[in-house]
Structure 1
Amino acid sequence: MSTQLVSLATAETQVGNPALNIAIFGVFVLITLAIVVKVSRGNRSAAEYYAGGRAFSGRQNGIAIAGDYLSAASFLGIAGAIAINGYDGFLYSIGFLVAWLVALLLVAELLRNVGKYTMADVLSFRLRQRPVRIAAAISTLAVSFFYLLAQMAGAGGLVALLLGVKGDWGQRLVIVIVGVIMLFYVIYGGMKGTTWVQMIKAVLLIIGAGIMTLWVLAKFGLNLSSVLGEASKTSLESGGKDLLLPGNQYKNPIDFISLSMALVLGTAGLPHVLMRFYTVPTSREARRSVVWAIWLIGLFYLFTLVLGYGAADLVGGAEIKAAPGGVNSAAPLLAFALGGEILLGIISGVAFATILAVVAGLTITASASLSHDVYNTIVKDGNATPEEEVRVARIAALVLGAVAIVGGIFALGQNIAFLVALAFAIAASANLPTILYSLFWKRFNTRGALWSIYGGLVSAITLIVFSPVVSGKPNDPVTGKSPSMLQGIDFHWFPLDNPGIVSIPLGFILGYIGTVTSKEYNAAKYAEMEVRSLTGHGAEVATHH
C-alpha cells in the first residue's frame, strides 16, 4: 500500500485535489440544471408536477427508482460497512435488495391502479377521507424528514471532506448550497425534472461502481475468491477481524433480525418510492419499472461486495477509520488507491449527485403530501384547482427545504445510518400494515387505519429515543467516544438498536384490533377498490379529473 495513500487517509484536511473535485461537481450540477430547465417547460397541471405527466416508460421509471433508492447510505455506507465488518456489512445489501421483491409482489401494481399521486390516495379510497389523510401525511412527513436529515448531514460531511472545507461553518455552508440546488430541481422541475436527475445519477453511479469493481477484480486476476481471501488475511494481519465470519457487527441475533425486518419491510412503505409508481401510464409499466429497478439495484449491490472487500485489502481498515469521513470514506479512498485524483474526483462527484437526487425525490414527495392531502382535502374540502395545488406544493417544498437545511446543520456529525434505519423502521411500522390491510382485507376500516399508523409511528420513535443508539453505549477504545448520539448520559431501557421487531408487529396488531372493535364497514367501496386495484379499471379516468 502506498505511503502517499496512508498519509492522505490519516490527514485531517481532505482527500485528493479540492480544485479538481470542485470542477467535477460544478460540471455535473450545470449539466443537470440545464436538463431540468429543458424538460420542465409547461409544468403547470398537478399531473405534470406530481407525476411527470405519467409520460415515463417502465424502463425510464425503473432507472429513476434505482436513482431514488441508491442513496449515499448505499454507496458510501455499505461499502464502508463491508470493508470494516465483512459478512455482516454485506447483509445490508441483501436486506435492501430483498425488500424490492416485497414491493413488486405486494404493492407496486395495486398502488398504481388505485391512487392518483400519493400514498394517502390509496389509504383514503375506502375509508373516511379527513382523518386518514391527516395520519398518512404525518407519517409521510416523519419518514421523509429523517431520510432528509441523513442525506443532508451526509452531504455536508462528504463534500467538506473532498473539498478540504475546514471547520463547522464551512460544512454548514456546504449543506446550504446543496439545499438550494435541490430546491431548484424540485420547485422548477417538479417530478419530471427530478426523474431525469435521478436517471442520470443512477446511470453514473452504476457505471462508476462497475468500473471500480472491474478494476479491483483485475488486481486479483478476476478471481472473487482471492479478493475475499486477501481482504480477510490483510484484516487479520493488522489485528482486525476475520471478514469472512458472521458476528463482527451483530453479536446479538435478535438485534440483527430486528434490523433485517426494518430493511426488508420498510421499502414497500417508503412514500418517496411509492410515489414513483404514479409516473407511468399503465399498471403493466409499473410492474416493468420494478423489474428494471430490481436488476439495476441488484447489480449495484453485487458491486458493493467487491468494493467493500477491495477497500479492506487495498486501503486497510485502520486507514479507513482514521480518515476524516470515517467508515463512509471507504469508497472514495478505494477510488484514490486505484486511479488517483481523477477517479477520486469522478466517484466523489457521483456520490454528491446521489445525495442531490435522493434529497430532491424526498422533498417532492413531502411537498405533494402537504398540498394534495392536507391543503386540497382538508383545508379546501377537495375544491382546490390543480394550479392552486401546484402553487402550494412549491411553497411547501421551499419550507421543507429550509427545514432540511437547518436540520442537516444540526445533524452534522451524527450517526447517519441511525437516521436512515429510523426512516425504514417508521415506514415498515406505520405505513406498510395500513397499505396491506387497505388492499387485501375486506373488513378494514378507518379506526384500524388510524390505530395502525399512529401506533406504529409512536412506538417506533419512542423505542428509538430510549434505545442504545441515542444514549448509553460504552466508549469506543479507539476514539474514546461513545457510538451513541448523546455523549455522557444514559437513559436507554430498550436493548435493541432498531425497533422493527417490536414496532412492526405492533402496527399490524393495532390495525387488527382497531378494525374489529369498530362497526364501520363499506362492502361496496371495498369491492370497487378490489376491482380497480386488480384490473386498473377506473384508474385512468381518475388520473384526468
Structure 2
Amino acid sequence: LTARTARRAGVWAVSPVALLCTGIVIVGLGASALVGRDLLHAADPAGGTALLMVTSALDPGAAGPRDSPLFALVACAAFATTLAAVAGITLAAASSLARDFAVKSGAQGEGKASAREIRRARWAVAGIGALAVLLSAYTHDRNPQVLLSLSFAAAASVLPPVLLYAIFRPGFDARGVRWTVYGTLPLIGVLMVLSPAFSGTPVALFPEWDFDVFPLQTPGLVTIPAGFLLGLLGSGRGPGGAPDGHHRHRTRRAPVRTRDGV
C-alpha cells in the first residue's frame, strides 16, 4: 500500500459516499414535506421508518402498505441490502477467525485454505450468527444508537491509525497493528459500558441500571488518540527489543574508510 494508491482509493470512494449522503438528505427532506415531521417523529424518533412512510405517501391509491407495490419493492430492497451487509460482515469475521487461529501449514503460504480452516470458518459463521441473533432479539425494543456508536467508535479508533501509519510511517509493522486492535477494542468496550449510553439515562441501552461513571456518550475522544498512541508504541521497537530509530541508526552506520581503503 502506497500513498498514491491510498489517494486513488480515496478519490474513488468520495464520489459514491457523497452521492449516498446527498440521497439521504433528499429522502429526509422529501419525507418531511410529504408525510410531516410530527408523524415521522411519532413513528420513529430516529427516522428509521421515513423511507417506508414516503413510499406509502407516494402511492395514494393504495388502501395501506400491504396494497402498495412501491412499498413492497422498497421493503424488499431494504431487506436485501441489510441481508447482504450482514452476510458480508459475518463471512469477513468468520474468515478472520479461521485464519488468525489456524495452525501454520504449507497451504497457508500458498494462499490455500485447509480443511481444518474451512471447518473452523463454518463453526465461526454459526457462532457469530447465533450471537448476533441473540443480541438483536434481546435488544430489539431498546435504543440501537448505542450499538451504532460502538461500531463507529471501533472503526474510528482502529482504521485511521492503521492506515495512516501504514502509509506514512516506515517502521509500522504487524506488531503495531496488533497493539492498535487488541489494545483499543477492549478499551472501547469498557468505556461504552461505563458511559451514559449504556445505563443511567432514559435513552440508554439499559435505562433501569445506573453505573455510568464515564461522562461521554461515545468514547471516541479517548479511544482515537489511544489507537494512535498504541500503534506508535507497538511499532516503535525493532528486532531484539531495540527501538526502531536506534536499529536504523545502527544499520545505517558504515565503516569509516580512508583514502588508502583501510
Q: TM-score, normalised by structure 1?
A: 0.38
**Alignment correspondent of 1:370:** 97
**Alignment correspondent of 1:456:** 184
**Alignment correspondent of 1:74:** none
Shift of 1:325: 8.5
**Alignment correspondent of 1:399:** 127
Alignment partner for residue 354 of structure 1, among 75, 78, 81? 81
Report whether the alignment pairs 1:509 with 2:236. Answer: no
Shift of 1:418: 2.4
Specify the structure having the higher radius of gyration (Cα): 2
Shift of 1:300: 2.5
**Alignment correspondent of 2:196:** 468
Aligned partner of 1:425: which letter?
Answer: A
Aligned partner of 2:149: which letter?
Answer: A
Q: Which has the higher contact order (CA 8 A, sep 6+)?
A: 1
Pairing 1:83-162 to 2, within 5 Å after superposition:
109=5
The CA distance in 2 between the partners of 1:303 and 1:504, in whole Å, is 29
Report whether the alignment pairs 1:381 with 2:104. Answer: yes
Pairing 1:289-368 to 2, within 5 Å after superposition:
293-323=13-43, 327-340=47-60, 341-368=68-95
Structure 2 unaligned spans of 5+: 61-67, 249-262
Shift of 1:371: 1.5
**Cα distance change on mapping 1:487 and 1:335 into 2, 3 Å:** same
**Cα distance change on mapping 1:447 and 1:367 into 2, 3 Å:** closer
Shift of 1:336: 0.6
Q: Which moved more, 1:505-514 or 1:462-471?
A: 505-514
Alignment partner for residue 242 of structure 2, among 506, 511, 519? 519
Aligned partner of 1:488: which letter?
Answer: E
Asked if the contact 1:445–1:520 (Cα under 8 Å) also holds between the matched residues in 2, the reply is: no
Asked if the contact 2:146–2:204 (Cα under 8 Å) also holds between the matched residues in 1, the reply is: no
Shift of 1:494: 2.2
1:431-470 C-alpha deviation (Å, 9 max, x unpaired): 4323432343223356544432233212222221122211
Shift of 1:287: 4.9
The CA distance in 1 between the partners of 2:27 and 2:234, in whole Å, is 47
The CA distance in 2 between the partners of 1:439 and 1:504, in whole Å, is 18
Q: TM-score, normalised by structure 2?
A: 0.75
Pairing 1:17-96 to 2, within 5 Å after superposition:
none
Q: Which has the higher helix share?
A: 1
**Alignment correspondent of 2:146:** 418
Shift of 1:356: 0.4
Shift of 1:326: 6.3
Alignment partner for residue 155 of structure 2, among 393, 417, 427? 427
1:154-186 C-alpha deviation (Å, 9 max, x unpaired): xxxxxxxxxxxxxxxxxxxxxxxxxxxxxxxxx
The CA distance in 2 between the partners of 1:513 and 1:335, in whole Å, is 52
Equivalent pairs, count: 231
**Alignment correspondent of 1:93:** none
Structure 1 unaligned spans of 5+: 1-103, 111-285, 474-481, 524-545
The CA distance in 1 between the partners of 2:90 and 2:230, in whole Å, is 30
Shift of 1:512: 2.1
The CA distance in 2 between the partners of 1:300 and 1:347, in whole Å, is 16
Q: CA RMSD in A?
A: 3.0
